[in-house]
Amino acid sequence: MPVPCDFQQNALLGLLPAEELNRLLPDLERVTLTLGQSLCESGQHMKHVYFPLDSIISLLCVMENGASTEIAVVGYEGLVGVSLFMGGETTPSRAIVQSAGQALRLKGQLLKNEFYRAGPMQRLLLRYTQALLTQMAQTAVCNRHHNVDQQLCRWLLLSIDRLPGNELIMTQELIANMLGVRREGVTESAGKLQKAGLISYNRGHIKIIDRPGLEARVCECYTVVKEEYDRLLNHNIVM
């Protein structure tokens, strides 16, 4: 049975052997995710996992006073719902749609059943989880040791890597919430990047104009995360 091409827009699903993926096809449901939509709240039991196609999901840690900081971004390279197959069932973080678009939704129990087959899906999900943990750890290091300019460059590159185009729809206030910094800091940093001709920003639309220039300014955290994803989610290694 041939696998529909659009189901392989998600890199994780695209790495699965056809036989493995075909078992999931009848239960994969295409859904539209809207900006700001919550897929999971802190401590909430997830009923579904989500495989983004052209959307981006932010994993956020939220403090008691309402302040939040992004700990990871998930796009077409991954899935939202790691806690389900890792056995924890819940997580203290929130999953919020950062960039609207399409995703494939699967009942959590079905993914767990596939995981416990101990086949290619299990190996793939464990490697993805390691890559995600690397992103979380490097984000914490970046937030502690690097300035807002470098953090913004890292965030822009990681986000744009997970979209089919080179444009984001995101206000500076939302970016500040993601990075856990003051809005004024993001405004100043975005202004520097725009003045240097690296991005254009207008009414919440951010367009990457000079990616090599952006990569030249970013800290090593972006490269660490990207290389680890590339290493761990390599088709020859996973299978």
- The pLDDT averaged over each successive group of 10 residues in the chain (239 residues) is 63 90 91 92 87 93 79 93 83 87 94 90 93 92 86 89 83 73 80 89 86 91 92 69
DSSP-derived pairing of the beta strands 56-62 and 68-74: antiparallel
8 A C-beta contact, residue 34 and residue 97: yes
- CA 107 – CA 88 distance, rounded (Å): 16
Domains recognised in the chain with CATH numbers: 5-118 (2.60.120.10), 143-224 (1.10.10.10)
| Segment holding 230, helix H or strand E | helix 220-232
